[in-house]
Amino acid sequence: MKNNRANLYGRSVLWGLAILFLLPYVFSLVLSKGRLVLPSDFLNLVWRSWLQATLSGALATAFGLLGAGFLLRVSHLRTSLWEGVALFPAVIPSGVIVLGLMDLVPEWRGLWAIAAAHTLISSGFIAVVLARLVRERMGASLELAWVEGANRLLMWRRGVLPRLFPELFRVWLTIVVSSLGSFSVPLLLGGSQAYTFEIAIHHAIRLQGAWGIAASLSLFQLFLLVAFLFLFQNLRSGQTPTTIRSGESASRAGVARILGFSWGAPFLILGTAVSLFSLVRDPFLGWRQLQSTGLLEHRDVLLVALQGSVATAALSGCLTALLLLLAATSFPGPRSRRWMNAYVAPSVAITGFATLALGWGAPPSFNWDVARISLGAALLFAPVIWRLRWAEEVSRLEGAVAVAQTLGAGSSLIISRILLPRLFPAAFWSGGLVAFWMWGDYAIGSIVASRNMTLGLLAKSLMESYRLEAAALLLLAVLVLGAVTYRLFTWGGSSVHR
């Protein structure tokens, strides 16, 4: 009887979440009155999107592989430092990378500019992943090859690259999927052409009011990305992780260093160098630009943007954590988890416009803007963070839940005594990550906000008017305040866990 109630509760929650995440698509279909129309240049759009995504994936994977060569070279004591440098562009808001490219090459727009931004954002992350794989999975065979007299080139050509190829394909596919759904980068660097479906959807709604085209493109993008993610799930790693005993780790790390090469350093630090260059290049000019815009004299705009950033960051983090907790405590079975892992985040543009249904007909207001941006961010981030961490967390708790159900524990007892205590730290971490990102994000806000009511939107407005140094000052403040917010969330999670 208790199991039946647990199953009913789980199904109800899962169906409720499924309806919530599909509402943006339903909203677009309702406004289009069920008329699905493809744009006249649909094939060209598919070609441009695919070309942009594959180029971004190829460049990011190549740069990541070269950066991994340098990571293999550094000593064990310095690995964490260099990994932090490599991961910096991947965890900060993408507007910082966009600002760096606009600062270095002011007139650069289009396909290559978008691919360059995606490469700078992702290559460091790829380098960390590949370097760890080489150390952990190939240590024993590399050590044997070195003892047998193989040189570095032969070890890379015959030993590392062939066995690393499945992982290279996986990371390439990951970047392709993320690039196909990119919005904030091509919004500022794409020029007049639509190089992603997101920008085409945005143009169709904003410029033409063509909801039929927007609904068609969003559904096509959804099915395409889900197909890619199912392919990603079915791929198997080329190597089984090797168990390293304590006496072997130093030796294998030494062999991995032999594989490394110092000239891979520029490929590892390029994204971080571009980010830091744009943020600290000329703060005094940035201050003068802020003065010239009147933002320092009339502080109301800055004050509203600061309040909006605090509110959207906190509410977005809390809503994302709540959605993830609901999904995790719904007792999803293997089939449900497979679908949850395959579901991609809904279209940024469609989600943004769909949140306008909140307070439909009400006059523009600060509170409604905060609610729309926060709900949209939660719908976009929750599926990504589920795949990033929560799917594994839920799998780890499967055994404990099964034992408790066998002993007769009800769903409420299992949730309160097993699931929530274990999942609260992950929930606070997830909320903090989303809150950090939302300090500098402008994707959803640029669609639904009635004014520049966050620091991210204000920085975007300054970048569009080429007051790049002033935008850099705001983004620097965004990173500091976002880091503080993330620390507050994670501190709360550790306190609850204790």
Show pLDDT as tens, one digit a residue, over the chain (498 residues): 555 555 677 778 888 888 888 888 888 888 888 788 888 888 999 999 999 999 999 999 999 999 988 988 887 778 888 988 999 998 888 889 999 998 888 888 889 999 999 999 999 999 998 888 887 776 556 666 655 556 667 677 776 788 788 888 888 888 888 888 888 899 889 877 888 888 888 888 887 878 888 888 888 888 887 777 777 666 554 444 444 444 445 445 555 667 778 888 899 999 999 988 888 888 888 888 888 888 887 788 889 999 999 999 999 999 999 999 998 888 787 777 777 776 767 788 888 888 888 877 677 788 888 999 999 999 989 988 988 888 888 888 888 888 887 777 777 888 888 888 889 999 999 999 999 999 988 888 888 887 888 999 999 988 888 888 889 999 999 999 999 999 999 886 665 555
Sequence length of the chain is 498
Residue-number span of the structural domain to which 116 is assigned: 36-279
69 shares a domain with 1: no
Is 324 a member of any domain?
A: yes
Q: Are 127 and 73 in contact (CB under 8 A)?
A: no
DSSP label of 244: P
Together in a domain, 123 and 18: no
- Total number of domains constituting the chain: 2
Residue 31 lies in a domain: no
Q: Are 71 and 262 a contacting pair, CB within 8 Å?
A: no
First-last CA distance in the chain: 34
Of 260, 279, 298, the last residue of a domain is 279
pTM of this structure: 0.84
377 and 327 in a common domain = yes
Query: Which residues contact residue 261 at a Cβ distance below 8 angstroms, ignoring those fewer than 6 apart?
Result: 69, 70, 73, 152
Domain-terminating residue out of 249, 279, 309: 279
State whether 308 and 247 are in the same domain. no
Same domain, 124 and 16: no
Q: Are residues 267 and 342 in the same domain?
A: no
Q: Determine contact, residues 179/58, Cβ cutoff 8 Å.
A: no
Token look-up 């008329």 returns 35
**Looking at 279, 302, 327, which one is the last position of a domain?**
279
Residues 220 and 236 in one domain: yes
Give residues with Cβ within 8 angstroms of 361, minimum separation 6. Answer: none
Domain shared by 238 and 141, yes or no? yes
Same-domain status, 248 and 340: no
Q: What is the CATH number of the domain that holds 273?
A: 1.10.3720.10
439 belongs to a structural domain: yes
Tell me if 30 is assigned to some domain. no
Three-state DSSP class for residue 385: helix
Listed residue (440, 457, 484, 472) closest to 304, CA to CA: 457
- 85, 214: one domain: yes
Does a structural domain hold residue 377?
yes
Residue 454 to residues 301, 312, 477, Cα–Cα distance (Å): 9, 8, 12
Same domain, 259 and 286: no
